[in-house]
C-alpha cells in the first residue's frame, strides 16, 4: 500500500490555461490575488495576419463589469461584512460611533485613522468651523443658479467652481507633487472642503427658497450651524435649532460618513489618481452620488410609499413587485446580505424626530411594507430587508426637507469619506499610479473608410441608432429655416 503524503496548505492559487497548458501559481494575500498575474498567460496572435483585437499576446485580462468582484485598492478605513451585517470604521463598530461619537469626530477618525485626544479634538473642531465661510465670488456663483435647480447641481457646480478660486491649492498651477509632498497643504484643503460642504448645502436650500444666504456660525456645532444657515431669517438672528433635531441629523451624518468603495468614493479616488485638485475630485464624486442609483435611493423610497398610499394597499404592491410590475426601493443592498446595521440605528433616530415634528403619515405605510416583506418567504429567499435608505427618507421628510434635497444630505457627510479615501490613495506605498482600467474590445475588425456618396443607405429607426430630426422651438416666421 502506497501512502501519498498530503501537501501542506499554501496561500496560493494554481491556474492552468487550457489553451496552452501553461500553469502559473499566484500568491493569495488578504484573500485576494493580483489581477496582473494573469498577464503571464499569453497565446500567439492570429496566424492570418489580422489585428489581434483580443490582445492575446499581452496576456489574459479580467473582465468584471460594474466591479462585482474587483478590489481597486487596499484600504485601512472601512470594513463591511455583508453576510453578518457588520460595519466598522478604523476598527470601531458603527453602532458605537453612532451612539457615542459625533460627525466631526468620526470625520477625523476616517481621515487620520485614530480618535482625536482632547487637544486634537479642540483644534480640529476650531479649524473646521472657522473654514465654513464662502468667498463672495463663490456665493455669486451659487446666487446665479435658478431657484428650481436641483440642489445637487448647485453642490456639484459650486465645488467645481471652488477649484478656480483656490489657485494655491491646484497642482496644475503649483506643481504635480503639491499634495504628495506637502501635508500641511493637504490638511488645510481637507479642512476647507469639509467646513464649506455644509455651507454650500445650506446655500442651495436658500436659493430654492429665494432667500438671501446666511453666514455661518463658527460657535455652533457642524450640524447645528447647517440647520441655522438654512432656517435663520437673517444674519445675526439669535436662532438656535432644536437640539433633538441637531442630534438626529448628526447621527445620520455619522451613519452616512463612509461606506467603503462605493460609486462616488470610487469616482473620488479615480479622478484623484490624476493628481487633480481635491475640489475637482469632490465635484466628480458629487456628480456620481447625484445619480438615482446612488444618492437618490431614499427619495425613491418616499415616492414609492406615496404611490402605495395606505397600509391596505401593501399586499397588492408586493404582488406587483414579484411580477416585476413595480420596483421595490429601500430593500436589500449590493453588499449586505442579511441586514444593514445602520437601519436599526436609524429607526431609533426616527422616533426622536417624530416626537418633535410629529409622526410622518407615511410611517404606517412603511411599517406595513416592512412587516409584510420580512414575513414573506419570497423576500426572505432573496434577502430583501429594509436598508438605511428606507428609514432615512422618512426622517428627512419629517424634518421638512423637500425630496430633491435628500441626496445633498447624503453628500455632505460623505465628503468626509471621500476625503479619507483620497488622502489614503495619495499616500499609498510605492507612489500614486493613475487609474486606467482595461477594456475588452468586441467591435468591428479593421475596415476602410468610404466617401459619403458611396456609402450604403442606413435606415435609422430610433435615436439609439442615429440622429433623427429634433423639434426646434422658434418663431413660426422661421419654421422653414434650418438652424
- Would you call 12 helix, strand, or coil by DSSP? strand
Provide the Cα torsion 292, 295, 296, 301; round to 10°: 130
Alpha helices by DSSP H, 382-426: 388-398, 406-426
- Would you call 433 helix, strand, or coil by DSSP? coil
- The catalytically annotated residue of 131, 258, 389, 421 is 389
Among 364, 393, 415, 424, residue whose Cα is nearest residue 72: 424
How many Å apart are CA 199 and CA 184, to the nearest integer? 23
How many Å apart are CA 51 and CA 377, to the nearest integer? 53
Q: Can 294 be counted among the known catalytic residues?
A: yes
How many Å apart are CA 71 and CA 260, to the nearest integer? 11
- The catalytically annotated residue of 89, 259, 270, 333 is 333
**Backbone CA torsion sign across 225, 231, 236, 237:** negative
Q: Can 256 be counted among the known catalytic residues?
A: no
- The catalytically annotated residue of 17, 54, 294, 404 is 294
Which residue(s) pair with 331 in the sheet? 386
DSSP class per residue in 342-384? HHHHHHHHHHHHHHHH---TTHHHHHHHHHHHHH-HHHHHTT-
Q: Can 389 be counted among the known catalytic residues?
A: yes
Among 406, 198, 175, 208, residue whose Cα is nearest residue 296: 406
What's the first-to-final CA gap in the chain, in angstroms? Answer: 90
Give the number of other Cβ atoms within 10 Å of residue 433's Cβ.
9
How many Å apart are CA 336 and CA 85, to the nearest integer? 6
Composition of the chain by helix, strand, coil, percent to 5: 50, 5, 45
Burial class (CB in 10 A: 0-12, 13-18, 19+), 134: buried
Active site residues: 294, 333, 389
Amino acid at each position: 500500500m502506497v501512502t501519498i503524503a498530503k501537501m501542506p496548505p499554501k496561500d496560493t492559487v494554481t491556474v492552468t490555461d487550457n489553451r496552452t497548458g501553461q500553469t502559473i501559481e499566484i500568491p493569495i494575500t488578504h484573500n485576494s490575488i493580483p489581477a496582473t498575474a494573469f498577464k503571464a498567460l499569453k497565446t500567439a496572435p492570429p496566424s492570418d495576419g489580422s489585428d489581434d483585437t483580443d490582445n492575446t499576446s499581452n496576456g489574459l485580462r479580467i473582465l468584471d463589469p460594474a466591479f462585482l468582484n474587483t478590489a481597486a485598492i487596499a484600504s485601512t478605513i472601512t470594513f463591511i461584512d455583508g453576510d453578518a451585517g457588520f460595519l466598522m470604521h478604523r476598527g470601531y463598530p458603527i453602532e458605537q460611533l453612532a451612539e457615542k461619537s459625533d460627525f466631526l469626530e468620526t470625520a477625523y477618525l476616517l481621515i487620520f485613522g485614530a480618535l482625536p485626544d482632547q487637544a486634537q479634538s479642540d483644534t480640529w473642531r476650531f479649524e473646521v468651523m472657522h473654514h465654513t465661510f464662502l468667498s463672495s465670488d463663490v456665493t455669486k456663483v451659487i446666487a446665479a443658479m435658478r431657484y428650481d435647480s436641483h440642489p445637487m447641481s448647485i453642490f456639484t457646480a459650486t465645488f467645481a467652481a471652488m477649484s478656480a478660486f483656490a489657485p494655491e491649492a491646484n497642482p496644475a498651477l503649483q506643481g504635480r507633487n503639491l499634495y504628495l509632498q506637502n501635508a500641511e497643504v493637504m490638511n488645510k484643503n481637507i479642512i476647507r472642503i469639509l467646513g464649506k460642504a455644509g455651507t454650500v448645502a445650506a446655500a442651495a436650500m436658500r436659493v430654492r427658497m429665494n432667500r438671501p444666504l446666511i453666514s455661518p456660525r463658527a460657535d455652533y456645532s457642524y450640524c447645528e450651524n447647517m440647520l441655522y444657515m438654512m432656517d435663520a431669517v437673517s444674519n445675526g438672528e439669535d436662532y438656535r435649532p432644536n437640539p433633538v433635531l441637531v442630534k438626529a441629523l448628526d447621527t445620520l451624518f455619522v451613519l452616512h460618513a463612509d461606506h467603503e468603495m462605493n460609486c462616488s468614493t470610487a469616482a473620488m479616488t479615480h479622478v484623484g489618481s490624476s493628481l487633480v485638485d481635491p475640489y475637482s475630485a469632490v465635484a466628480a464624486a458629487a456628480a456620481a452620488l447625484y445619480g438615482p442609483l446612488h444618492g437618490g435611493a431614499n427619495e425613491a423610497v418616499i415616492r414609492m410609499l406615496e404611490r402605495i398610499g395606505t397600509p391596505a394597499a401593501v399586499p397588492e404592491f408586493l404582488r406587483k413587485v414579484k411580477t416585476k410590475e413595480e420596483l421595490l426601493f429601500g430593500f436589500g443592498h449590493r453588499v449586505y446580505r442579511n441586514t444593514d446595521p445602520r437601519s436599526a440605528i436609524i429607526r431609533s433616530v426616527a422616533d426622536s424626530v417624530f416626537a418633535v415634528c410629529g409622526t410622518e403619515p407615511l410611517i404606517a405605510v412603511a411599517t406595513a411594507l416592512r412587516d409584510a416583506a420580512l414575513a414573506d418567504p419570497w423576500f426572505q429567499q432573496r434577502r430583501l430587508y429594509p436598508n438605511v435608505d428606507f428609514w432615512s427618507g422618512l426622517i428627512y421628510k419629517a424634518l421638512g426637507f423637500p425630496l430633491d434635497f435628500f441626496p445633498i444630505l447624503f453628500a455632505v457627510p460623505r465628503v468626509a469619506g471621500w476625503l479619507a479615501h483620497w488622502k489614503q490613495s495619495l499616500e499609498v506605498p510605492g507612489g500614486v499610479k493613475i487609474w486606467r482600467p482595461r477594456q475588452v474590445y468586441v467591435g468591428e475588425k479593421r475596415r476602410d473608410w468610404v466617401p459619403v456618396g458611396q456609402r450604403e443607405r442606413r435606415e435609422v429607426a430610433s435615436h439609439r441608432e442615429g440622429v433623427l430630426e429634433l423639434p426646434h422651438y422658434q418663431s413660426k416666421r422661421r419654421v422653414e429655416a434650418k438652424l
